[in-house]
Amino acid sequence: MPMNSKRSFFGEIFKFVLIAILIVVPFRIFVAQPFVVSGASMDPTFGDGEYLIIDQVSHNFEEPKRGEVIIFRYPRDPKKFFIKRVIGLPGETVSIHSGVVIIKDENHPGGFALSENYIPAANKKIDDFKMNTPLGSDEYFVLGDNRQASLDSRIWGPVPEKLIIGRPLVRVLPVERLGIWPGEKRFAN
């Protein structure tokens, strides 16, 4: 191979790598990133080892809604990332009594029971667990879908909005569960 051909070849590879880095790195940092589910806290919605692509943009333009699954930095150790479902919204009060979630807000001062028919009854059971948590103007109450195996807002309190990274955009693996906006459940209330 002549010397000019080698330089041209390596020059083209360098350009390709540079362009790839200039496109992929900002995309990965600001738009979407991979996330691997760890643990059973979101069973059956998300299983251990499932590979997701996280949308990091939309939460900058719209607030999380009740029923959405979000990925956020763990409030007690922001180096760790958790995946949970939004149950309580800013300004609400979340009460839990023996597995029943009650939401109190301006429109429902007496509260309403949250219908969570997407969760198997066995995953909701929380023996005689009782709590009452008022949320601040930038706080969300999150729970795992598998309540018996989930560390969530019941244990460490609300999640500040600034710790929210995004929400699942695509479930990539396992292939048989491939889908867009996996885990999406929005409630009327």
Residues annotated as catalytic (active site), given as ranges: 41, 84
Q: Cis (ω within 30 of 0) for the bond into 2?
A: no
Q: 3-state class of 124 per DSSP?
A: helix
Task: List Cα–Cα distances, 21 to 7, 15, 16, 29, in angstroms.
Answer: 21, 10, 9, 12
Question: How far is it, in rounded angstroms, from Cα 101 to Cα 96?
Answer: 5
Output the six-digit token pair for 4. Answer: 């000019």
C-alpha dihedral over 64, 69, 70, 76, to 10 degrees?
A: 110
User: 150, 144, 142, 167: which is closest to 70 by C-alpha?
Assistant: 167
**The 3-state secondary structure of 35-78, one letter per residue:** EECCCCCCCCCCCCCCEEEEECCHHHCCCCCCCCEEEEEECCEE
Partner residues linked to 36 by β-bridges: 51
